[in-house]
Structure 1
Amino acid sequence: MASRVLLLCSLQLAIALVLLSGLTEAQLQLGFYSKTCPNVEDIVRKEMSEILSLAPSLAGPILRMHFHDCFVRGCDGSILIDSTKNNTAEKDAPPNQTLRGFGAIERIKRTIEHACPNTVSCADVLAIAARDSVVMSKGPNWPVWLGRRDGRVTIANETKQLPPPTANFTRLTQMFGAKGLSIKDLVVLSAGHTIGTSHCSAFSDRLYNFTGKVNVNDIDPLMDTQYISRLRTRCSLTDNTTLVEMDPGSFKTFDTSYYKLVAKGRGLFHSDASLLANTFTKDYVFKHANGFESEFYQDFADSMISMGNIGVLTGNQGEIRKKCYLIN
């Protein structure tokens, strides 16, 4: 009897070790490339510094690209893959047609491939670059957990999972919740709008055609009227090319001024205004509109780490693409 118990315990221990091993392999790690490409973060930082010195407006788009990657198939670099004759890729779907910075990621990847061939995934390159784009915009720093593998699938129709700028609070919470993110993550990550620009077409309905009447009075009642008047001098209802600062006067600096704007009814998108529709998110907006920058910075770092873990491929899943725009 004792031997049977001992055998059973040994078997349970063996199973537990196997499961633990599998779990460890499936997780991202700090210092994942410490032996295979120890300078990877230094390389990305140097390249990003040079890229942003030439094109500082790319900080916001690269952060946005990481967000768009993680919300579709997880953080697997599928946003970077080009379309083919037989398949329309994520990057060519309507929500992603205004993305910029693909060339910057390819530049970084080429440099890494020269230093560490076939080692670092494009998904990890994008995650590090997104962090550095925030840091170099005077925002918070955070440790990037690495070990993502690159996906082999990219489908334009799957971008329906991306929260649109027109979404109300209910839809936003559902879409964030589907990715394992909380209401707090929603209000925190929305502040990524503190850097970068937007095309008029993403919000012009709030200025001219909010309920479909297309007249001078058909405006979003949640938006400050003076702000509407100012935006109308820049945007027409059919303008698809003009860019507007998401955080006027501070769009190259990562700070809490986004919350000050939202609190005044000057959030650019309907999704920004919707943060005032819930008690928790409204309180968060007004608190950080009045300071507490260090607390927000820590919250943003925590939420970015959480987002960076969405649906990752690890271990033997996926691949390490040699060129980010092309499946091996």
Structure 2
Amino acid sequence: MPKTFLCLRVGQFLPYTMSDSNRTNFTNPSTFILLGIPGLEAAHIWISIPFCAMYSIAVLGNFTILFIVKREPSLHGPMFYFLCMLAVSDLVMSTSTVPKMLSIFWFNSREISFSACLTQMYFVHSLSGMESGILVAMALDRYVAICHPLRHSTILTNPVVAKIGLAVVLRSGILALPYPFLVRQWPYCRTNIIAHFYCQHIAVVKLACADIRINSYYGLFDLLTVIGMDGFFIAVSYTQILRAIFRLPTKDARLKTFGTCISHVCAILALYIPDLFSSLMLRFGHNLPLHFLILITGVYHLVPPVLHPVIYGVRTKQIRDRLLQVFTHKET
């Protein structure tokens, strides 16, 4: 969207215009103003309905996964520990952006402090990488369970699972650490108005009065590192899994064994497809309307947290049976 057009749009719903804000030079402003979805201000209330519904489903579904795994001792194993990690990351990921988006849509609460903006940015990038790392850990669990079934309990012990989880958290946390520091170092002398519903890294640094190429390069490096590294390990795991499956004697045995991987494959698709589509649209969809790109980002923040508990709740027999027992017990 051209900057001139954006300036004209802002003046229609803020008590001050962007030109007024430009009269004051500042570095590291105390607050930013989030516009929500520029160009669709009149439809904010209607847009909030599906987003609120999806967020409610994500919260309910992921808390249900955590509750069932905690209450059922038979689910205390590596796959379900990793699933709980995925549920927690989904909850924090969606909660870090969606409530603020809804407050913009419902209450016109557009201000966010500079520190809160940097914190939100860090959590979004950190949790995005964490979810990808957890899927790699789950691929490792499937590999060991299928290729080395007799040694599964001795290879993936609780201490090993804890170390894997810690490694996933540390990697994502360290890779996301440069984002707030890179953003904080620039002077912001143009405006403090962000054309987005959350503090997206690129949307914020575009306001800086400096050469921000290092931010773009690091963002691309982070994306390629996480997606490339994790995609490679997942591909290697499933190559070995498929080789083991094809060596099974009967078709029924092959289908039954591969069926244990379906939930994980669906979870991978639910995360990577929206992520890749969103990243490609933001980087190469220069001719697309700004509001479309922002809507794509919003969908990316909610689709995986909504689909992950649904996928595992439907596809995983232990969780499905335990959930039915809970409802049956309540009815009786």
- Quick check: which one's helix share is greater? 2
TM-score by length of 1: 0.28
TM-score, with length taken from structure 2: 0.28
